Amino acid sequence: MSALNAPTLESLTLRDQRVLVRVDFNVPLDGQGVIRDDTRIRAALPTLGHILEQGGRPICLCHFGRPKGAVVEALRVDPIAARLQELLGSPVLKLDESTGALIQETIAGAAPGTTVLLENVRFNAGETRGDEDLARAYALLGDCFVGEAFGACHRDHASVTGIPRFLPSAAGRLLEKEVGAFARVLDNPRRPLVAILGGAKVSDKLPVIDHLLERVDAILVGGGMAYTFLLAQGIEVGDSLVQSEQLDLCRAAEAKASERGVRLLLPEDHVAAERLASDAPTQICGPAIPAGWMGLDIGPRTTLRYAAAVAEASTVVWNGPMGVFEMEAFSAGTAALARALADCGGYTVVGGGDSVAAVAGLGLSASMSHISTGGGAGLRLLEGRALPGIEALG
């Protein structure tokens, strides 16, 4: 990949303009409807602040949850509007629709300095289908468009890739920052470059591994995906998660790593349990896992080995936990890697919802060079693939 190949905010005339901004405000709520983590809202503040300073009127489009094209009362964006107003320190007008003549009139009548937040775009059935008529209806609300939703840039949705067909468009500050971070990892990084990949399914990460093997010095594999790699080597993994149809691809990845001189590190010991439960009996074993037991975290020897590789790195990218970190009994590996990244003197990028949550839960977010707001979009960049939401801006 290369740096952002799209116009930036400076290319747009903003004064007295209605500026449609596609943001990613898909934030987690607790059981009482209170936002648990407002990182994604905060990430859009530089762009929204710039538009307001330049005399423009930001009109935000966002998705929230998966309402599947129907109005779901629990997925209205009212809590987001309230928090956005607190963070901006200026008025936010939340509307109950995202298209239509009445919405146009309301926007026109809003006081100067007001940011408008439209209702959840996924209430519209055509949003996730990339419906052109819906994109045209969105475009009628603005004079120009800013793409700011990195977390949705891998989606060919109406509010992401459709609106730029009808309006002058540019990338916001967050898109610049995100693409710049991944470019720093993939284009002439400081070496050694280490990738840490975890998560449940090896099928999700094999395309990433294939692309990274041409760029990295080492890949550290953890999580459920590690057990398919181990079984491919003939190591017994008990009842651990395995994708048998991926065994040949794992062998091919190991062969490619050997051919290119890349260290592909796999767990040599494990925290195993007889069942996935917080109170299940556990044991440390490895490299083999006994029948009737399943690996649920990397073990202490592996943790030390992986942490040492991170300590030697000048650039690190991490996507995916090392175990079932939501349960304390299986969280030590992920926590140790998070601390290793925090102590690393190199450039560190963390992406993927679970990895980001683990880092945040340990209070280590500020110690990372870059925390990505888009797991799927970040993975696509690590696979060497373009993002439709950014291509559309060009």
Q: Dihedral (C-alpha) 204, 207, 211, 212: value to the nearest 10 degrees?
A: 30
Q: Taking the CA of residue 339 as centre, how many other CA atoms within 13 Å lie in the half-sphere pointing to its CB?
A: 10
Tokens of 309: 């590789």
Active site residue 376: yes
Residue 2 pLDDT more than 70? no
User: Which residues in the chain belong to E strands, given as ranges?
Assistant: 18-22, 57-61, 92-94, 115-117, 144-147, 169-171, 193-197, 218-221, 263-265, 270-273, 282-285, 294-298, 315-319, 347-351, 370-371
In this prediction, residue 1 has a pLDDT band, given cuts at 50, 70 and 90, of: very low
CA separation for the pair 89, 48 (Å, rounded): 12
Rounded to whole angstroms, the Cα distance separating 361 from 358 reads 5
Angstrom CA distances, 172 to 43, 51, 101, stand at 10, 10, 27
Q: Does 333 participate in catalysis according to the annotation?
A: no
188 sits in the region (left: phi over 0; alpha: psi -120 to 50; else beta) called left
Tell me if domain 9-176 and domain 191-345 are identical in fold: yes
Spell out the domain ranges in the chain: 9-176, 191-345
Catalytic residue among 18, 40, 155, 184: 40
Token duo for residue 175? 């898109």
The yes/no answer on whether domain 191-345 falls in CATH 3.40.50.1260 is yes
Surface-to-core class of residue 32, CB atoms within 10 Å of its CB (0-12 exposed, 13-18 middle, 19+ buried): exposed
- Mean per-residue pLDDT over the chain, rounded: 96
Catalytic residue among 65, 69, 130, 353: 353
Q: Average pLDDT of 121-126?
A: 97
Prediction pTM value: 0.92
pLDDT of residue 29: 87
Q: For residues 107 and 21, give the distance between their C-alpha atoms in angstroms, rounded to a whole number.
A: 14
Q: Is 353 a catalytic residue?
A: yes
Could you tell me which of 336, 260, 327 has the C-alpha nearest to residue 303?
Answer: 336
Q: Is 10 exposed, middle or buried (0-12, 13-18, 19+ CB in 10 A)?
A: exposed
Q: Over the stretch 47-82, which tens digit does the pLDDT of each residue have?
A: 999 999 999 999 999 999 999 999 999 999 999 999
Q: Selecting from 3.40.50.10890, 3.40.50.1260, 3.40.190.10, 3.40.50.620, what CATH number does the domain 9-176 have?
A: 3.40.50.1260
3-class DSSP assignment, residue 273? strand
